[in-house]
């Protein structure tokens, strides 16, 4: 499973990208509004930080304007993926952009029927919203299972399941078990995945035991990441 970061916070994206765990980024109008910054400026910065797919969503609702916006955004960087809503106009735009060689992420998917339409329209990614389905008493992860099964049945479908609206690590784990291709995670959820009380307890014990030895591994304090590079071994 690949991990995308669902954020327009450049500092968060840069910090998480340094872990080597980030394969791409998804943004949407709400995340851009939350950042309080210029959309195109933010998009350029993100594309420079993460070389993988960066989803940039159009703001229009009619096909001609979606196409104009999508083509403009796609010209910003080679790794831009155009995000369109799962509407008739959005799927028309998806078909045209896909035929032009621009990858498309179809968003706001809430049913298997919608996901079939997106695959037939040539979407590179489909974004089913598991958390929002759970919020209304539906089975968000059940939809993920359906989509993985349907897409795997038809080799002509090349659309990948991009699990969106993730609320907690269990969403990620269960979607991974089902074979979902991508999970797009809010930074807070990815950070939560690092945590376990037994990890903290074990590290605390190791450090206490090490302190008793009175030893140090490095004789000089590390000033920066370059200073921490291992010495080259001689053959």
Matching CATH number, 2-193, of 2.30.30.90, 3.20.20.70, 3.30.1380.20, 1.10.3480.10: 3.20.20.70
Q: What's the confidence (pLDDT) of residue 221?
A: 81
- Domain spans of the chain, in order of start: 2-193, 198-228
Say if CB 91 and CB 121 are below 8 A apart: yes
86 pLDDT exceeds 90? yes
Please say if the pLDDT value at position 233 is more than 70: no
**What is the rounded distance in angstroms from the CA atom of residue 122 to the CA atom of residue 202?**
49
83 is catalytic: yes
Encoded tokens for 100: 């032009």
- Which two tokens mark 110? 């809430």
pLDDT confidence band for 205 (50 / 70 / 90): very high
Greater model confidence, 168 or 222:
168
Q: Is the pLDDT of residue 89 over 50?
A: yes
- Active-site residue, from 34, 83, 92, 201: 83
């Amino acid at each position: 499973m690949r991990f995308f970061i669902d954020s327009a916070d450049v500092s968060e994206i840069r910090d998480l990208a340094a872990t080597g765990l980030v394969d791409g980024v998804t943004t949407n109008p709400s995340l851009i509004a939350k950042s309080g910054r210029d959309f195109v400026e933010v998009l350029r910065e993100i594309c420079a930080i993460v070389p993988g797919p960066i989803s940039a969503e159009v703001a229009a609702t009619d096909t001609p304007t979606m196409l104009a916006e999508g083509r403009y955004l796609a010209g910003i960087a080679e790794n831009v993926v155009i995000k369109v809503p799962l509407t008739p106009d959005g799927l028309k735009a998806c078909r045209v952009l896909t035929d032009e060689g621009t990858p498309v992420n179809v968003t706001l998917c809430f049913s298997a029927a919608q996901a079939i339409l997106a695959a037939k329209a040539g979407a590179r990614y489909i974004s089913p919203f598991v958390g929002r389905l759970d919020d209304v008493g539906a089975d968000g992860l059940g939809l993920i299972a359906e989509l993985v099964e349907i897409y795997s049945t038809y080799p002509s479908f090349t659309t990948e399941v991009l699990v969106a609206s993730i609320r907690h690590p269990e969403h990620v784990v269960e979607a991974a078990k089902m074979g979902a291709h991508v999970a797009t995670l809010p930074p807070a959820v990815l950070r939560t995945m690092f945590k376990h009380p037994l990890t903290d307890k074990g590290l605390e014990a190791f450090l206490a035991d090490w302190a008793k030895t009175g030893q140090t591994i490095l004789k000089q304090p590390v000033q920066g990441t370059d200073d921490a590079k291992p010495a080259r071994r001689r053959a």
